[in-house]
Amino acid sequence: MSIDTDTARKVAHLARIKVEEDELPALAGEFNAILGFIEQLQEVDVEGVEPMTSVTPQRLKRREDVVTDGHQQDKVLANAPDAREGFFAVPKVVE
């Protein structure tokens, strides 16, 4: 499996990380080195093995489905790069 610059561009976009066009070949090269290393996993016999979902055998705890938190708008917004009138502010989303 070899990754070309088109795939690298697509992955960068999926990850929402801007990568300049002239950096794509180097990025594709790095992906190939890492994926080449990962390729070894193909030789393992995993017939009948269930994918691990939890490393410790535990059942997630249940609790009452009730509101346990809230009423801290100021704290939620305290670290926002741009907060106005009690909301997060972002560039225009809809044309």
Partner 1 sequence: MSELSKLKIAEARDALKKGEVTSVELTEACLAEIAGAGALNAFVHDTPDLAMEQAKAADALKGDGSLNGIPLGIKDLFCTRGVASQAASKILDGFRPEYESTVSQNLLDAGAVMLGKLNMDEFAMGSSNETSVYGDAVNPWKVDDRTLTPGGSSGGSAAAVAADLCLGATGTDTGGSIRQPAAFTGITGIKPTYGRCSRWGIVAFASSLDQAGPMTKDVRDAAIMLQAMCGHDPKDSTSADLPVPDFEAMLTGDIKGKTIGIPREYHMDGMPGEIDALWAEGRKMLQDAGAKLVDISLPHTKYALPTYYVIAPAEASSNLARYDGVRFGHRARLGQGDGITEMYEKTRAEGFGQEVKRRVMVGTYVLSAGFYDAYYNRARKVRALIKKDFEDVFAQGVDAILTPATPSAAFGLGEMTDADPVAMYLNDVFTVTVNLAGLPGINVPAGLDNQGLPLGLQLIGRPWEEGDLLNTAYALEQATGFVAKPEKWW
Query: DSSP string spanning the chain?
Result: ----HHHHHHHHHHTT----GGGHHHHHHHHHHHHHHHGGGGGS--TTPPPPS-SS--PPPP--SS------HHHHHTT-SSEETTEE--S----
Q: Which of 33, 65, 70, 86 binds partner 1 (CB under 8 A)?
A: 33
Instruction: Confirm or reject binding of residue 67 to partner 1 (CB under 8 A).
Output: no
Instruction: Confirm or reject binding of residue 41 to partner 1 (CB under 8 A).
Output: yes
* Contact set with partner 1 (CB under 8 A): 3, 7, 11-19, 27, 30-31, 33-35, 37-42, 44, 46, 49-56, 58, 60-61, 63, 72, 75-76, 78-82, 88, 90-93
